[in-house]
Amino acid sequence: MKRLQFSSVFVAMMLLLLCHHNELGAQKIETYPSNWFVQMKWNKVQVLFRSTSMDLSKASISTKYAGVTVQGISHFKNSHYVVANVFIASTAKAGDIQFVLNNGVSTETVTWTLKPRRPGKGTSFAQGVNQSDFIYFLMPDRFSNGEASNDRLPGLKDQTLNRDSIYHRHGGDLQGVKNHLDYLQQMGVTTLWMTPVIENDMPNRTEHGYAFTNHYAIEKRFGGAAAYLQLSDALHQRGMKLIQDAVYNHVGRFHFLVQDAPDPNWLHQWPRYTQTNYKDQTQFDPYGAKVDLKKMADGWFTTEMPDMNHQNEFVAQFLIQHALWSVETFGIDAWRIDTYIYNDMPFMNRCNKALNEEYPKLTSFGECWVHGVSNQAYFVENNINNAFKSNLQGAADFQTLFYGIQPALNEKPSWDGGVIKLYNTLANDFLYKDATRNVIFLDNHDMTRALSSFGESIPKLKMGVAWLLTCRGIPQLYYGTEVLMKGISNPDGWVRLDFPGGWPGDAKNAFTGVGLTKDEKEMLDYTRVLGNYRKSSSAITTGKLMQYIPNNGLYVYFRYDEKQTVMCVMNTTSESKKVDMGHFEERTNGFKTGKDIVTGQVVGNQFSIAPQTLQVIELIK
Among the residue ranges 7-16, 83-92, 538-547, the one predicted with the least confidence is 7-16
Q: What confidence tier does 492 reach under pLDDT thresholds 50, 70, 90?
A: very high
Angle between helices 458-468 and 518-535 (to 10 degrees): 10
Task: Report the pLDDT value the prediction gives residue 20, as an integer from 0 to 100.
Answer: 38
Q: Amino acid identity, residue 442?
A: L
Give, in order, the Cα–Cα distances in Å from 548 to each of 131, 384, 426, 594, 621. Answer: 21, 25, 11, 19, 21
CATH, domain 135-540, list 3.10.20.30, 3.40.1230.10, 3.20.20.80, 2.30.30.240: 3.20.20.80
Superfamily of the domain at 2-115: Immunoglobulins (2.60.40.10)
Q: Amino acid identity, residue 66?
A: A
pLDDT beyond 80 at 27 = no
Residues paired with 35 in a beta bridge: 113
Give, in order, the Cα–Cα distances in Å from 460 to each of 63, 179, 356, 453. Answer: 65, 31, 39, 10
Cα 43 from Cα 58, distance rounded (Å): 25
Cα 186 from Cα 63, distance rounded (Å): 52
Task: Report the pLDDT value the prediction gives residue 121, as an integer from 0 to 100.
Answer: 64
pLDDT tens track for 402-457: 999 999 999 999 999 999 999 999 999 999 999 999 999 999 999 999 999 999 99
Q: Give the residue range(s) of CATH 2.60.40.10 domains in the chain.
A: 2-115
Check residue 90 and report its DSSP letter. T
Task: Report the pLDDT value the prediction gives residue 504, as an integer from 0 to 100.
Answer: 96
pLDDT beyond 70 at 22 = no
Helix (H) or strand (E) holding 102: strand 95-102
Task: Report the pLDDT value the prediction gives residue 124, as an integer from 0 to 100.
Answer: 81
> Residue 316 in 3-state DSSP?
helix
The residues annotated as belonging to the active site are: 338, 367
pLDDT tens track for 239-294: 999 999 999 999 999 999 999 999 999 999 999 999 999 999 999 999 999 999 99
As a residue count, the chain comes to: 621
Tally the C-alpha atoms within 13 A of residue 340's C-alpha that lie toward its C-beta: 30
Cα 609 from Cα 14, distance rounded (Å): 78
Cα 181 from Cα 192, distance rounded (Å): 9
What DSSP line would sit under 375-417, residue for residue? HHHHTSSB----S------EEB-HHHIIIIIHHHHHS---SSS
Task: Report yes or no: 476 and 193 within 8 Å, Cβ to Cβ.
Answer: yes
Task: Report yes or no: 564 and 587 within 8 Å, Cβ to Cβ.
Answer: no
Question: In the CATH hierarchy, which top-level class contains the domain 543-620?
Answer: mainly beta
Check residue 248 and report its DSSP letter. -
Give, in order, the Cα–Cα distances in Å from 559 to each of 431, 467, 565, 572, 614. Answer: 20, 11, 6, 19, 14
pLDDT beyond 50 at 21 = no
Average pLDDT over residues 362-381: 98
pLDDT tens track for 581-608: 999 999 999 999 999 999 999 999 999 9
The pairing of strands 214-218 and 198-199 is antiparallel
Task: Report the pLDDT value the prediction gives residue 123, as an integer from 0 to 100.
Answer: 72
Average pLDDT over residues 512-528: 98
What is the Rg, in whole angstroms, of the alpha carbon atoms belonging to the chain? 27
Q: In the predicted model, what is the mean pLDDT of the chain? A: 95
pLDDT beyond 70 at 297 = yes
Average pLDDT over residues 74-95: 98
Residues paired with 84 in a beta bridge: 47, 73
Average pLDDT over residues 468-494: 98
Average pLDDT over residues 461-479: 98
Task: Report yes or no: 213 and 156 within 8 Å, Cβ to Cβ.
Answer: no
Task: Report the pLDDT value the prediction gives residue 13, as an integer from 0 to 100.
Answer: 34
Check residue 432 and report its DSSP letter. B
Q: What confidence tier does 6 reach under pLDDT thresholds 50, 70, 90?
A: very low
Q: Is 237 exposed, middle or buried (0-12, 13-18, 19+ CB in 10 A)?
A: exposed
pTM: 0.95
Task: Report the pLDDT value the prediction gives residue 120, as an integer from 0 to 100.
Answer: 75
Percent of the chain with pLDDT over 70: 95
Task: Report the pLDDT value the prediction gives residue 336, as an integer from 0 to 100.
Answer: 98
Q: Give the residue range(s) of CATH 2.60.40.1180 domains in the chain.
A: 543-620
Task: Report the pLDDT value the prediction gives residue 453, as an integer from 0 to 100.
Answer: 98
